Structure 1
Amino acid sequence: MVKLLKNTIKTFVIAVLSVVVFIHNVHSYEASSEWDVGPKAKARLLSSIKSVGNHNVILIGVEVKLKPGWKTYWRSPGESGMPPKLDFSKSSNLKSTNLEWPAPSRFIFEGLKMNGYKDEIVFPVQIEPVNIGEAIDIRVLLDVLACKDICIPHSMKLGLHLPSGKSYETKYAELIRKYKDLVPGKLNSDGLEITSYRQKGSILKAIYSSNFIFDNPEFFIETQDKLKFIRNKVEILNKGKLLVAEWRLEKEREKPDNSTDQLSNVTLTLVDGNRSVESHLKIQDDIIKTNGLLGLSFNYISMIFIAFCGGLILNLMPCVFPVLSIKLLSVINSFGESRKRIRSSFFITSLGIIFSFLILGLCASIAKAAGYTFGWGIQFQQPLFIISIIIILTLFAANLWGFFEINLPARILKFSLAISDSKNASGSFFQGAFATILATPCTAPFVGTSVSFAIAGSISETLTIFVSLGLGMALPFLLIGLFPGLANKLPKPGYWMIWIKIILGFCLFGTAIWFLTIIKYQVSNEAAYLVGLLMGLIVLLFKINKRLKPFNQKIISLVVLIIICLSFFVPRVLSPFNSIETISRNDVTSHWNKFNYFSINQHVKDGKVVIVDVTAKWCITCQLNKQRVFQSKEVEKVIKNEDVIAMRADWTTPDIKITEYLSTFDRFGVPFNVVYGPGFKTGLILPELLSVSSLFSAIEQTGYKKVKASKE
């Protein structure tokens, strides 16, 4: 009896399972249409559900299978081909359809670039019924082009009936969702997204971030009226998680005469393996229309003028003062000399300035060609370079105080004497060169803009802009060279010059002390104190050197050289293990956060305003902005607001993340300040020389309306 009962239960279970499997197979079969087979491709309709149920939107798929090696096209086929076309007009109870395009691949055939799919593709389609709950009769006319060595058009008729009734998933649901996941969206699940984009004339730049390393990124650009962009470059930064892409306009779009639109829509799709993201951008159409030779020529000429003005303003920056003070003394000492000699001296100094800027331009071009990043003033990030400047300034000061009246055998000391002596050609030339070196940490108004344009441009543009900067800075010297009679308008030399030399010597020594504070931040307090002590010892040795016999003077000179050599070993001996973190801690206050590029986009999405201050201790303009603007009571009150995030990026020492961040804006020097907000997600760049009003104006433009209340 028990055995019979077991057999009965077993038979019943098998029968039930068989019925379930049969029903499942029947349902799965009914959820797809028959294949419509063509010469090189076949197609059918798939549905994710068996019956319509109460869904107001139903996901179906159009599956296309091609012969091995054959391809069909994406919605934007590229330089050849035709995208598939689907006509649902013969369907019943169908209100609307939304065809989605999975991310394509790029194919190259005989030099033509094409976008599409190989072997197999499922196009997800979201359909909406007229009457929810009623049966839907789907009828599709599909036109698809299959290509290999030749292209064969296929026209296929597909049909699928979805009855009314309770809905449940079919076996095709997973396949349709698989391809739907390949449709590019605004934000990928692993954090792949476009963080900002900007346009500069005919150049379009887009910046992407990702939680994972970029593998093989490929871009697809769709524009109106066949507006075409050619990719300039793609850089992968921040250990593979930041991507900067740049394109230039190849030809103008032909726009109807009666059109008044000034914006063009651009759809930018990034595909990286199995992940992708799509962005819809708006670019300035009126700027694109002036992309021809005339537009570029005007932009180029205007930038040359801006560079010239920036170089002229550099003469007013405090970092150039030491050399200007020495040149001032040379003007006074030239009283009564021939016009020819005065003219020659100032022309040679001008030549030293212009030649030095030309060398900087060549260095920038070589670094760019080699794939390295060039920055304005980056040599001041190196402690050894700072120590070299401190030594030269100390020697200058000692010379002005009268401690250099002997002939020292060492080349480096002879070199310093030559620089301070304007009566010989080499001295005048190196005065100009040294003035250029001291000018590089200063980003005066117009300098940052012109340097960024130069470094981002061609070699000829780079050299021209740098020479224009040099001409601007050399203008005062050129004027005296052209009109040497101006030198005779100054007071005659006399006893008063001794006091002037002493005062100027202290100014030079004060500049050296300021550079010591940079050593303090770059290396350590002990290193700054030791270098300062060694420089003081050099001055003391020069002082007592005057009273010694010639043999003893040579010994003192040798000791000075040894001290100079020892100074260069100080950073290595007294450097802490993590000086960069020390700088960050010293420079970040309770209301200023450490710079984090990847958090900016999220803060903006949360409706906050983000202020980014890229600064450096050796940048005088940066420190001026900090004291006059960021440390003002009005600005501090705004920064304390919970809706404002202030970030400070310290570039005093080399930091690849900050360098890469600057390069995304085509900027290569500091100061650099940007304000982000809901109204300006890509960032609003501020002028190099800040004011409280310009900062508040930028904050308001980015969509933060509480700034007025905070100021009151």
Structure 2
Amino acid sequence: MELKFFLTFFCFFFYSTLFGLESKIDIFEETKVNILLGEKKGNSLDIGLNFSIEKDWKIYWIYPGDAGSAPILTVLDSKKYDSITPSWPFPEEEYDQTTGLISRIYKNNIIIPYKIFLKKNYENIDELRFKLEYQICKDICIPVTANFILKIPKDNYKNQINIKKIDKYKKTVPKSLLSNSQINFSARKIESNKILLKLSNMSFSDKKEYILKSILIDKEFPELRTKYIAQKKNGFDVLFESEEEIFLTDNSSIVFIKLNDDVFFHKLNISELKNETSQSKYELLIIFITAFFAGFILNFMPCVLPVLGIKINNLLKQTENRNNFYVKLSSFYLSLGILSTFIVFSLVSIFLRSIGISLGWGIQFQSPIFLIFLLSLLLIFTAIAFDLIKISYLQKYFSNNLLNRLVRKNNLFISNYTTGILSTLLATPCTAPMVGSAISYALSQNYLLSIPIFMLMGLGKALPYLLFIIKPNILWYLPKPGIWMKYIKFLIGLLLFVSILWLGKLLVNHYIYSDENYKVQNTYNMWEEFDKDKLLFYIKNNEKVLLDITAEWCINCKINKKFVLEDKGIQKYLKDNNIKLMRADWTFPDKNILDFLKEYNRYGIPFNIFFSESYPDGFIFSEILRKSSFLKILEN
């Protein structure tokens, strides 16, 4: 008896692991459909709606075209789940010249991946019941309804065969344009019923053939079909045509692109065909001005407080000498350190983007190697700035007169140049008003534009020191050196000590936590962990959702939490108004968070966005939150 039970259990386990759990097959006109279970992890399920479609028959995509409707899969046990979200693979587009109808369809075999989140009390259910409604079409469309029961293991479960089947089609699901972000998009209405889409700044290999398919969707437009696609030297021209006149709106359109094996979508605004050269120049001028003032604002962000002590100490030294030449020289070296660091930023960003690596402002603080380097640099040059280390002995080994001049007089060059570098590196965890816009433009547009944008940010950050070069005697308005300087130096030392502890804590986190463990340790009762599928479910159901993207290394994020997000009055308002709270912690590298930020053309944090019926596409708050304006948006 025991042997029989063991063999039965073993056979079931072996079968379910190797061949996978799936529902029974429903058959209609030789078209077969069932549900596959790929993975269960905690309260989440990855399933696939598996269609085997009879020859010459078809089913429809989420944006079906002029006729038809997409399959709708619902869970009948509504109390057992929070959300069910489909991911739609890229379809075929058909155009019937006789009727003028456009259809976007699937033929033959297709698996539509779904993500299901179970309610916490129902993680150990043994089955889920589903209802499927779809249209199967040939000469006419026939509505079909089918019911399924899918067995659910109580423990975590993964079936490699089913996962492989589902992933095959998941790869063809369009994703927001990210690693291809160097591609430039422009769309113009060139006739009453035609739109021309231009893709540029693309690189092609002579040894490879490129096949592009494209679909343009806008709910305010009549259905558009792809009339022709022409490959250019560094991109494509795509012409879309409608049977009716197109009336442009302020809403964003979505273009879906399939380029060989790459599948992505991009939101864009379509404009009338006109000469926009002057407008483009004006927009570029605005970006340059924004970049300059963004750099200037970085001087006053909390992120630069750790190096503020070194700056103050350098200025105090100049008041002792009251020498205009040394004030100008030290200010020049400090400005040079800032500018050279921003130039390095631009060159590194161009190189990494050219090889397809995604970037974000401040993500180097996710690297323990960078933290060790920065800690070492801060310790060494803090000691130099406070004369704890003298480097005049270098003159014994170098006879170069220029070097002698640079290292004499309290190591003028090294202390100021490295202060400029340090102040710039330590400013990178923060995005401030205007900084986000400048960085987003620098990291998403033409490579060559990155250099002037970063240089202008550097000039803006160096502006106070450039003023000292022009008018050094401004410093003479400071009080004369005296006993008060000892107290100032003590305060500076304390500030530096705190900053070194802060960097040390960031470094230690990398060695005592894994990414998942850190998120568990830092989960707040009111806040759900970020999950894009769940967020989309909330938005689809018109729930009010506040998303906060934060990190341990982001000082502005901590200020926002302390004075706004964790304020008792704000928390009470959020709870009383049933606003869902979701938090994404970016302390460690997380591609999903970076991808989400890039969907909103953002490359740094803090990032706070609010979704509601009034803001279905989300309202993005300023990087520095204020209680009054924050509440005003929530109340709207």
Q: Would you call these one fold, judging by a TM-score over 0.5?
A: yes
Q: Within 5 Å, which residues of 2 pair with 1:366-445? A: 366-398=351-383, 403-404=388-389, 423-445=411-433
Equivalent in the alignment of 1:103:
104
**1:308 Cα deviation (Å)?**
1.2
Equivalent in the alignment of 1:300:
284
CA deviations 1:75-95 (Å, max 9, x no partner) are 4xxxxxxx6134xxxxxxxxx
**Alignment of 1:311 onto 2:295:** yes
Instruction: Check the 8 A contact 1:330/1:422 in 2, yes or no.
Output: no
The change in CA–CA distance for 1:429 and 1:401 in structure 2 (over 3 A counts) is closer
**1:645 Cα deviation (Å)?**
1.6
Q: Secondary structure at the match of 2:546?
A: strand
CA distance in 1, matches of 2:585, 2:216: 27
**1:359 Cα deviation (Å)?**
0.9
**Alignment of 1:488 onto 2:476:** yes
CA distance in 2, matches of 1:512, 1:445: 27
| Structure 1 unaligned residues grouped into runs of 5+ | 1-45, 48-57, 60-72, 76-82, 87-98, 106-116, 118-171, 182-208, 235-243, 254-258, 410-414, 525-575, 702-712
Equivalent in the alignment of 1:640:
575
Instruction: Check the 8 A contact 2:194/2:239 in 1, yes or no.
Output: no
Q: Secondary structure at the match of 2:170?
A: coil
**1:180 Cα deviation (Å)?**
9.5
CA RMSD after TM alignment = 4.6
Instruction: Check the 8 A contact 2:391/2:411 in 1, yes or no.
Output: no
Equivalent in the alignment of 2:195:
227
Q: Secondary structure at the match of 1:334?
A: helix
**1:432 Cα deviation (Å)?**
1.0
CA distance in 1, matches of 2:281, 2:431: 25
Q: Which amino acid is the alignment partner of residue 85 of structure 1?
A: T
Q: Within 5 Å, which residues of 2 pair with 1:38-117? A: 74-75=94-95, 84-86=97-99, 100-103=101-104
Equivalent in the alignment of 1:175:
138
**1:518 Cα deviation (Å)?**
2.1
Compute the TM-score of the two structures, normalised by the length of structure 2: 0.60
CA deviations 1:502-556 (Å, max 9, x no partner) are 22112101111122332343332xxxxxxxxxxxxxxxxxxxxxxxxxxxxxxxx
Q: Which amino acid is the alignment partner of residue 690 of structure 1?
A: L
CA deviations 1:639-662 (Å, max 9, x no partner) are 325742211111111111111111
Q: Within 5 Å, which residues of 2 pair with 1:464-479? A: 464-479=452-467
Q: Which amino acid is the alignment partner of residue 449 of structure 2?
A: E
**1:360 Cα deviation (Å)?**
0.4
Q: Secondary structure at the match of 1:229?
A: strand
**1:688 Cα deviation (Å)?**
0.8
Instruction: Check the 8 A contact 1:442/1:619 in 2, yes or no.
Output: yes
Equivalent in the alignment of 1:353:
338
Q: Within 5 Å, which residues of 2 pair with 1:162-201? A: 175-176=138-139
**1:233 Cα deviation (Å)?**
8.9
Instruction: Check the 8 A contact 1:621/1:671 in 2, yes or no.
Output: yes
Equivalent in the alignment of 1:604:
539
Instruction: Check the 8 A contact 2:381/2:415 in 1, yes or no.
Output: no
The change in CA–CA distance for 1:103 and 1:624 in structure 2 (over 3 A counts) is same
Equivalent of residue 656 in structure 1, options 584, 588, 591: 591
- Percent sequence identity over aligned pairs: 27
Equivalent of residue 511 in structure 1, options 495, 499, 504: 499
The change in CA–CA distance for 1:442 and 1:617 in structure 2 (over 3 A counts) is same
CA deviations 1:634-693 (Å, max 9, x no partner) are 321233257422111111111111111112222111111111223333222211111223
CA distance in 2, matches of 1:291, 1:396: 54
Q: Within 5 Å, which residues of 2 pair with 1:234-253? A: none
The change in CA–CA distance for 1:362 and 1:268 in structure 2 (over 3 A counts) is closer
Equivalent in the alignment of 1:55:
none
Q: Which amino acid is the alignment partner of residue 138 of structure 2?
A: L
How many pairs does the alignment contain? 445
CA distance in 1, matches of 2:509, 2:408: 30
The change in CA–CA distance for 1:252 and 1:333 in structure 2 (over 3 A counts) is farther
**1:251 Cα deviation (Å)?**
11
**1:581 Cα deviation (Å)?**
1.5
Q: Secondary structure at the match of 2:379?
A: helix
Q: Within 5 Å, which residues of 2 pair with 1:464-613? A: 464-524=452-512, 576=513, 579-613=514-548
The change in CA–CA distance for 1:492 and 1:681 in structure 2 (over 3 A counts) is same
Equivalent in the alignment of 1:684:
619
Q: Secondary structure at the match of 1:101?
A: strand
Compute the TM-score of the two structures, normalised by the length of structure 1: 0.54
Q: Which amino acid is the alignment partner of residue 671 of structure 1?
A: P
Equivalent of residue 617 in structure 1, options 538, 544, 552: 552
Equivalent in the alignment of 2:316:
332
The change in CA–CA distance for 1:395 and 1:425 in structure 2 (over 3 A counts) is closer
Instruction: Check the 8 A contact 2:430/2:556 in 1, yes or no.
Output: yes
Equivalent in the alignment of 1:135:
none
CA deviations 1:573-596 (Å, max 9, x no partner) are xxx4xx212221233211101000
The change in CA–CA distance for 1:607 and 1:368 in structure 2 (over 3 A counts) is same
The change in CA–CA distance for 1:639 and 1:584 in structure 2 (over 3 A counts) is farther
**1:177 Cα deviation (Å)?**
5.8
The change in CA–CA distance for 1:647 and 1:211 in structure 2 (over 3 A counts) is farther
CA deviations 1:57-90 (Å, max 9, x no partner) are x99xxxxxxxxxxxxx954xxxxxxx6134xxxx
CA distance in 2, matches of 1:408, 1:625: 47
Equivalent in the alignment of 1:341:
326
Q: Which moved more, 1:674-683 or 1:647-656?
A: 674-683
Equivalent of residue 610 in structure 2, options 649, 657, 675: 675
Q: Which amino acid is the alignment partner of residue 346 of structure 1?
A: S
The change in CA–CA distance for 1:214 and 1:326 in structure 2 (over 3 A counts) is same
CA distance in 2, matches of 1:341, 1:406: 18
Q: Which moved more, 1:590-599 or 1:688-697?
A: 688-697
CA deviations 1:120-178 (Å, max 9, x no partner) are xxxxxxxxxxxxxxxxxxxxxxxxxxxxxxxxxxxxxxxxxxxxxxxxxxxx9863368
CA distance in 2, matches of 1:514, 1:176: 69
**1:482 Cα deviation (Å)?**
0.6
CA distance in 1, matches of 2:538, 2:251: 28
Instruction: Check the 8 A contact 1:583/1:650 in 2, yes or no.
Output: no
CA distance in 2, matches of 1:479, 1:246: 52
The change in CA–CA distance for 1:484 and 1:251 in structure 2 (over 3 A counts) is farther
